[in-house]
Structure 1
Amino acid sequence: MTLRHLEIFLAVAETGNMRKAAEQLYISQPTVSGAIREMEEEYDVLLFERLNQRLFITPEGRQLTIYARELLSLFHEMEYTLRHSSDHAILRIGATLTVGTCVLPEILRQLEEEKHIPTSVQVENTRTIVQRLAEGALDIGFVEGEVHHPDLVVLPVMADSLTAVCAHAAPPMTLAELCQTYPLLMREKGSGTREMTDRILAEKGISCDIRWECSNTQTLLQAAESGLGVTIISRLLAADALAAGRLFEIPLTDCKLSRTLRLVWHKNKFQGDSFLAFCHLCRQYAAACHQEIVKG
């Protein structure tokens, strides 16, 4: 099997159609079908099922897509590094919304202006960042959610906390009282904030009225400012609105919504100078904010 076989396989897996894969790669359809057949015969495995003139990827095929993406990503990274050996390779960073909005800008400024390391950034929820790290589409992630993946290394870096905020001052109350009193404005499923909130609600057996679900934190803050409900959000994200008096914190008497921001990378990831410099700056930033996670 060659890298070209993997490129053809991925094109078929992503388009679900050999003709479309051929058009995408500017090759003939017989070349595509021949490459898939060679792979299946070489490893005595079925990668696609042909049913009613349609292709359906098999479990073995889905597993191969993970390896194929990682191998091709490493190959393209190697090519780029060799062709630009006098320059820093671009560090591909994935960040969740809280990190991307409140933490990453200053770290990236130092990385690019002081260390002269170019970066590209994708801001997504934790679930998406984990998936792209596992596929080799990102070099490192900085996330707020829990990560449980056998191929990823997780390094706790910085403490963070969630807070419940609304448009008017409110007395301290329990989480159950909060949910009985206000509709909730929530992050989407897959985000670290939503995962933590859902877990605590489930542990306490609390049901709630989820009025909004949104991936945009500024939208949630504006909705809360407009009096549409309460949003549970990182204190980092709410800091400006709280300081300006546009939002008010509701103290919760029966739970502490603290969490950890984590660096995450693939266990087989090569840790070059750019990678290590980024990790160092993240730890340095956390220490400067007095939010560093100190390992015992």
Structure 2
Amino acid sequence: MNLRHMKIFVAVCQNSSITLAAKKMYISQPAISTAIKEMENYYGVKLFDRLSKKLYLTEVGKMVLSYALHITSLFDELETTIRNSDTIGALRIGSSITIGTHLMPNYIKQFSSKYPNIQTFVTINNSDIIENLVLDNKLDFALIEGVIHSKNLISKSFLNDELVVICSLNNPLLKKEVISVKDLETQKFLMREKNSGTRELADSVLLLHGFSAIPIWESISTEAIINGVSNGLGIAILPLRLVQNFIKKGTISKLNVVDINLKRKFYIIYHKNKFLTSSSIEFLKLCTE
């Protein structure tokens, strides 16, 4: 068993095909098949189910892939580190939408001014998708607003944040002196998509009060939700950082709900087997400062 076996296994998994893996690696199909069979014989397990001429990873195969991705990644990083100084290379950074909108541009600007020869590639999406990209080693590390769902990830908080409840300027709740979660049950909800960090916190907090909101509108776009709220379609729970300018401009209003806690933290996440280069560590230091 050697690195070649691991690279072939990863290529087959990523392409879901021995034929495509053979073409991309410039290796014959029989050689690919032999390498996979050697791995299965070596470990005494079945890595793939072969059904209707298609390959499906077994549960053991999924576990092996998790390690294989990082074994091959470590080797690639070793070569990069040896061939380049620490001020040359690239960082693949992931970010949830709130962080990507308000914090990431400044982080990249500061980092690039200090390390002009390091390219930074940023992917912005909801926290759940970003987490999976880190697990698949398609990102070196990420900054997210939600809690992690995998034991293979390391998570460290680096910044406090808060969600707020927003409504249109004509919402009747604004006339009440005291607003409770019970009052929110009378409202229609516009919410971020499922599995986003914002949605997960909003759902969990409302559930603690015995209330499950069924949104009339779900969107990955915060701006779309804000526009819907400003037009009186309903209320929303969104990050204060994303809505504070709209509140200041008088486009929407904030509802001060007395019995609800929507504070949270932002997290740095990376795979537990990931080797962080010194430039990666410098970027993470920048975030914590």
Q: TM-score, normalised by structure 2?
A: 0.89
Give me the whole-angstrom Cα distance separating, in 1, the residues matched to 2:205 and 2:136: 30
Task: Identify if the C-alpha distance between structure 1 residues 57 and 215 changes in structure 2 by more than 3 Å, giving closer, same or farther.
Answer: same
For 1:50-69, list aligned pairs within 5 A.
50-69=50-69
Q: Please state if 1:258 is matched with 2:263.
A: yes
Per mean C-alpha deviation after superposition, the further-off stretch among 190-199 and 53-62 is 53-62
- Secondary structure of 1:31's match? helix
- Structure 2: 5+ residue runs without aligned partners? none
Root-mean-square deviation (CA), in Å? 2.1
Deviation at 1:74, TM superposition (A): 2.2
Matched, 1:208 2:213: yes
Distance 2:52 2:282 in 1: 53
2:74 and 2:275 in contact (8 A); partners too: no
- 3-state DSSP of counterpart to 2:185: helix
CA distance in 2 between partners of 1:45 and 1:186 (Å): 45
1:118 matched to which residue of 2? 119
Match of 1:180 in 2: 186
Please tell me whether the aligned partners of residues 175 and 254 of structure 1 are also in contact (alpha carbons under 8 angstroms). Answer: yes
How far did residue 83 of structure 1 move?
Answer: 2.8
Q: What do the CA deviations read for 1:111-134 (whole angstroms, capped 9, x no partner)?
A: 111343432211122222222323
Q: Does 1:282 align with 2:283?
A: no
Q: How does 1:13-92 map to 2 (within 5 A)?
A: 13-85=13-85, 87-92=87-92
Q: Residue type matched to 1:78 in 2?
A: L
Sequence identity (%):
35
Deviation digits for residues 136-162 of structure 1, max 9, x if unmatched?
Answer: 332222111012533322222111100
Pick aligned residue for 1:193 from 177, 193, 198:
198
Letter paired with 1:197: A
Residue type at the aligned position of 1:8: I
Q: Which residue of 1 aligns with 2:98?
A: 98
Distance in 2 between residues matched to 1:174 and 1:34, nearest whole Å: 65
Structure 1 residues not aligned, in runs of 5+: 285-296
Q: Distance in 2 between matches of 1:86 and 1:46?
A: 40
Taking the aligned partners of 1:265 and 1:57, their CA distance within structure 2 comes to: 24
C-alpha distance in 2, partners of 1:179/1:23?
57
Q: 1:233 to 1:15 in 2, by over 3 A?
A: same
Q: Secondary structure at the match of 1:239?
A: helix
Whole-angstrom CA distance in 1 between matches of 2:8 and 2:273: 24
Secondary structure of 1:91's partner? Answer: strand
Distance 1:151 1:45 in 2: 22
Where 1:186 maps in the other structure, the secondary structure is strand
> Aligned residue for 2:155?
154
Equivalent pair of 1:179/1:209 in contact (CA under 8 Å): no
Residue range with higher mean Cα deviation, 126-135 or 36-45: 126-135
Determine if contact 1:40/1:47 at 8 Å carries over to the other structure: yes
Q: Which residue in 2 is equivalent to 1:221?
A: 226
Q: 1:272 to 1:35 in 2, by over 3 A?
A: closer
TM-aligned CA distance change 1:69 to 1:281, over 3 Å: same
- Quick one: distance in 1 between partners of 2:113 and 2:135? 29
Tell me the distance in 2 between the aligned counterparts of 1:52 and 1:14. Answer: 19
**1-structure distance, mates of 2:53, 2:141:** 40
Q: Comparing 1-10 with 151-160, which one deviates more in the overlay?
A: 1-10
Note the C-alpha offset of 1:267. 3.0
* CA deviation profile, 1:54-98 (whole Å, cap 9, x unmatched): 332211111111112222222222223333226333222111111
* Equivalent residues of 2:164, 2:255 under 8 A apart: yes
Q: How many residues align?
A: 283
1:143 equivalent to 2:144? Answer yes
Contact kept? 1:157, 1:260, Cα under 8 Å = yes
